[in-house]
Amino acid sequence: MPIHWFPGHMNATRQAIKDRVKAGLDVVIELLDARLPGSSSNPLLAALTTGRPSLKVLNKQDLADAAQTEAWLAHYNAQPHTRAIALDAGDKAPARALIKACRELAPQRGGLAKPMRVLICGIPNVGKSTLINTLVGRRAAKTGDEPGITKIEQKIVLEDGFYLFDTPGMLWPRISIAQSGYHLAASGAIGRNAFDEEEVALELIAVLKGRYADRLQERFGLAELGSDDAVLEAIGVKRGAKIRGGAVQMHKAAEALLGDFRAGLLGRITLETPDEMAAWRQAAADE
């Protein structure tokens, strides 16, 4: 596995989710990164909450390819007891759509006698704190690039009879598929020291050449696209990553590309399709 990622153990998270299921759970919200919905999902959550209605929230849709987001929404909406919506965590109106979707998933719940109990989970950096803050209309959760650890379950009252529970601990990404590791690394979801930036940049170039070649050419002023290595080198030249003697510092080129991708400067891009993800999962299961 090219990504050397050893996240903290998840015993506390696992227990907290189990406790919530036992205490009463009507809808599970899994927050996903719209640029990599499949790779940013953690199957542990599904395993611990089987049988509960599920709302997939594709966040950061402002950074993702709109057509691909539609394909992912259709993919999830076709699954039983599942609904999917796409949003930007900072936007108020779509965040309210989330409440409506929960009501549709559990129409028997609501009101003070039978409150709606919703669990919200997502891998670090997916935008959970931002979304919670938008939903409550003030700063309730810590946001930032560093994952914050909350020790106890948070109960957030969104409306009378509508409770959102935020579990303590971390739902770390699971990397059982090489492509998912690359996509998580490219998106900024895993620690910088856990991967080789050059390797991740080369994988990103391969994806971009396949579906977004024009964006790559336009952003870096490349008249043509050669091999993945040649593209990375050309990006380095354009970004002044050449050292005396003419060689290109490939890690600097990689940083430039990854930085631009994460900031959305290459335009709206989605790294994976539902079909690709299914094929990778199948190949991993066959191994």
Residue 62 is given by DSSP the state G
* Residue 130 interacting with ligand GDP (CB under 6 A): yes
Which tokens sit at 86?
A: 């796409």
Q: Min. distance of Cβ 124 from ligand GDP in angstroms? A: 5
Tokens 């939903």, residue located:
135
* Strands in the chain per DSSP E: 27-33, 54-59, 82-86, 116-122, 154-159, 162-166
Contact window for ligand GDP (CB under 6 A) among 16-24, 125-133, 157-165, 233-241: 125-133
* CB-side neighbour CA atoms (13 Å) of 85: 18
Cα separation, 189 vs 7, whole angstroms: 12
Q: Min. distance of Cβ 62 from ligand GDP in angstroms? A: 5
- 274-286 vs 66-77: helix crossing angle, rounded to 10: 60
* CB-side neighbour CA atoms (13 Å) of 121: 29
* Residue 127 interacting with ligand GDP (CB under 6 A): yes
Query: Which of residues 135 and 205 has its CB atom nearest to ligand GDP in the complex?
Result: 135
Contact window for ligand GDP (CB under 6 A) among 44-52, 120-128, 170-178, 273-281: 120-128
By CB under 6 A, the residues from 32 to 71 that bind ligand GDP are 59-60, 62-63
- CA end-to-end span of the chain: 14
SS3 sequence of 259-271: HHHHCCCCCCCCC
Cα separation, 267 vs 215, whole angstroms: 7
Query: Which of residues 147 and 274 has its CB atom nearest to ligand GDP in the complex?
Result: 147
By CB under 6 A, the residues from 79 to 98 that bind ligand GDP are 88-90
Element (H, E) at 275: helix 274-286
* Residue 138 interacting with ligand GDP (CB under 6 A): no
How many residues touch ligand GDP under the rule CB under 6 A: the total is 19
Query: Which of residues 144 and 210 has its CB atom nearest to ligand GDP in the complex?
Result: 144
Q: Which of 122, 169, 173, 181 binds ligand GDP (CB under 6 A)?
A: 122
Q: Which of 95, 126, 186, 190 binds ligand GDP (CB under 6 A)?
A: 126
Contact window for ligand GDP (CB under 6 A) among 9-17, 137-145, 170-178, 229-237: 137-145
* Residue 167 interacting with ligand GDP (CB under 6 A): no
| Closest residue to bound ligand GDP by CB | 127
Residues making up the chain, counted from first to last: 287
Which tokens sit at 163?
A: 């409770």
Contact window for ligand GDP (CB under 6 A) among 101-109, 126-134, 177-185, 209-217: 126-134
Type of residue found at 255: E
* Residue 125 interacting with ligand GDP (CB under 6 A): yes
Q: What are the residues binding ligand GDP (CB under 6 A)?
A: 59-60, 62-63, 88-90, 122, 124-130, 143-145, 147
